């Protein structure tokens, strides 16, 4: 989330410093490498609209409305099955490590069997069939 008036930059090189808090390796993972390099090597910021176009920012909001946009996205996420959301986020975060394709596949392949042991695994399809909103519990199934 960002205000349309925001700017994003890594100005350390303008002060004879390096981005020691992780910007040197995190920024190239979050946007095209050549854009990250330009930002890191020139120290010049980019406007929020450009960051949005590059996928660095999910949503833009008018100044003073950023929290509203963030809450809108949070609401979109929280209507989903909490265990599936949590597991999806965990797999994405774990796969950002230096893992082989095989290791990443193993992480992903373990998700469905784990979710199949939850109450929500049954609730999602049932709610769909019954054409109603799901009632998530976020709990493992009772055996």
Q: What is the DSSP track for 67-120?
A: HHHHHHHHHHHHTS-HHHHHHHHHHHHHHTSS--HHHHHHHHHTHHHHHTTBHH
- Is pTM beyond 0.95? Reply is no
Find the angle CA(128)-CA(132)-CA(136) to the nearest 5 degrees: 80
The per-residue pLDDT for range 82-111, each reduced to its tens digit, is 999 999 999 888 877 767 788 878 878 888
- What percentage of the chain has pLDDT greater than the value 70? 97
47 is written with which tokens?
């406007």
For residue 94, how many other CB atoms are within 10 A of its CB?
13
Share of the chain above pLDDT 90, in %: 68
């Amino acid at each position: 989330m960002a205000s349309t008036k925001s700017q994003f930059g890594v100005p350390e090189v303008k002060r004879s410093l390096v981005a020691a808090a992780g910007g040197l390796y995190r920024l190239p993972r979050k946007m095209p490498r050549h854009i990250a390099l330009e930002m890191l090597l020139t120290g010049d910021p980019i406007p929020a609209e450009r960051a949005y176009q590059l996928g660095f920012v999910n949503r833009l909001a008018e100044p003073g409305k950023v929290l509203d946009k963030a809450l809108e996205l949070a609401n979109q996420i929280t209507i989903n099955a909490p265990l599936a959301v949590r597991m999806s986020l965990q797999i994405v975060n774990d796969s950002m490590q230096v893992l082989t394709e095989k290791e990443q596949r193993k992480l992903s392949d373990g998700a469905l069997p784990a979710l199949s042991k939850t109450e929500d695994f049954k609730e999602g399809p049932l709610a769909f069939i019954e054409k109603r909103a799901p009632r998530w519990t976020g709990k493992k199934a009772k055996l």
